[in-house]
Amino acid sequence: MKKNKKIRFMRILLLFALLFALFGIGCDDDRDTQCYEGKVISLNQGSGCFNLIEILKPNKNTGLPVNSRVSFDPDKYNGTLEIGDTVYFMVNGYEIWDGYYFTNCSPPNYTCQIEFCDL
């Protein structure tokens, strides 16, 4: 009788181990929790305007507010960016922007050093 209980216990333990292996344990990747979701709203293609991303969804730490415009360096993106593209990024540093701009260009709210996320 004891041998049957031990075998049943081992089968249940093996089943749980298999389920965890197949479905994971539900942990968020730390990098994903630091990423903002944004939309490219302006690219300086010789116009003198800023390269801007508008924040659509904040990261888990909610450092910068939604609907903020942040400047960025598009050369750090692996690929081609177009206006309207959705991007995911981490902010490594930022400052409130306090500078001049042309009246036909939207200014940023923040100048940022960002790193694009691979989601």
Kind of pairing between the strands at 36-42 and 110-116: unpaired
pLDDT tens digits for 89-116?
A: 999 889 998 877 777 788 899 998 999 9
Q: Are strands 36-42 and 52-57 parallel, antiparallel or unpaired?
A: antiparallel
Q: Tell me, what DSSP letter sits at residue 105?
A: S
* CATH no. of 30-116: 2.40.50
pLDDT tens-place string over residues 66-91: 999 999 988 889 889 999 999 999 99
pLDDT of residue 17: 61
Token pair 């209980």: residue: 5
**Quick check: pTM over 0.85?**
no
